[in-house]
Structure 1
Amino acid sequence: MDLNPNCSEAVFRFHTVDPEKMHYILQAIADEVSANNSFWGKQVIPKYKTAKEYETPYGGKPSYAWDFLFDENDKRPWREKYEEARKKSYPEGSILYACAGLGDNEAVIRVNEEEGYFTLNIGNNDIVENKTGWIEKIKKLGIKVDEAERDESLKKIARDCTCGIIYFSDEVD
């Protein structure tokens, strides 16, 4: 895998809604993010009892735009606008910070219990190096993993370029 610094997002569909497996997957990815980017620090994914508890609180919609900081029509003090942007940038209840496209700092997790999977939008620069072996750890779970580069339905939920990076082979170890 080559890192393309202009790339933004990886989108995965993990075919499980087992809360223990979800925690394992998300923690493996959080460890990789921390290994590649000290800005986020060590991230500890909480252990939840249900799959839905892992879902992104704001529903995976872009949470904000920093542009309003420089809106001349907004007469509020700059510091007040900055604090608002920071709170939106790091929403309360977030469980995994990593750029998830278009400047969002929160990875986006959506759960589809009926179909038995969850999706994850996450910044690919934070996970591409595989320093921690996160890919192999997830493969050992024996679950199917789809990714945007091979699945058009996942490209539809990508909010930015996925840039041709493929993380998982077709086979499961």
Structure 2
Amino acid sequence: MIYLRLFFEFFKTGLFAVGGGLATLPFLYAISEKTGWFTAADIGDMIAISESTPGAMGVNMSTYVGFSVKGILGGIIATLGLVLPSILVIIIISRMLEKFKEARIVQKIFYGLRPASTGLIIAAGIGVAMETFLPGSKITSLQSFLDFHWERLLLAALLFFAIQKWKKHPVIYIAIAAAVGILFKL
């Protein structure tokens, strides 16, 4: 039964997460709350691992969750659940799009999907930022404000500006962030 649930949860994620790997994050938070298979803090680790390993982020995260829940078979089933909707939708759309790509309604649908995927990515980014800078809580008092991880925000800002200025390979920035984390135990 757990295999079916793994497949179904990631099938839903794959079906509705329009916009790529980051768009799967709101769904992962929902799976976390609903199933308890992993915590919100684990999602930050999954992002770091998924971004630093080859492959698509959403696929890597589904494989990670499936494997941690039910081993190799769980990883395979969760991954299949995530990618199957894309395969089915691509087959359907490719057959229909050639026929209807100039249709006004199709253009309007794609116009509406762009802000939807942007909204999902922004919501996911805010969730990851909150868990990174203020793990497990929200700013509700002066003490929680003081508990805010300012050093992590500084590192994120420095990396952001370095990426904008030098545009090196992302692995370089990941390695730098990991080294800083080791040195300063952020």
Q: Which TM-score bucket, shorter chain as reference?
A: under 0.3
Q: Per residue, is there more strand in 1 or in 2? A: 1
Q: Which has the higher contact order (CA 8 A, sep 6+)?
A: 1
Q: TM-score, normalised by structure 1?
A: 0.28
Q: Per residue, is there more helix in 1 or in 2? A: 2
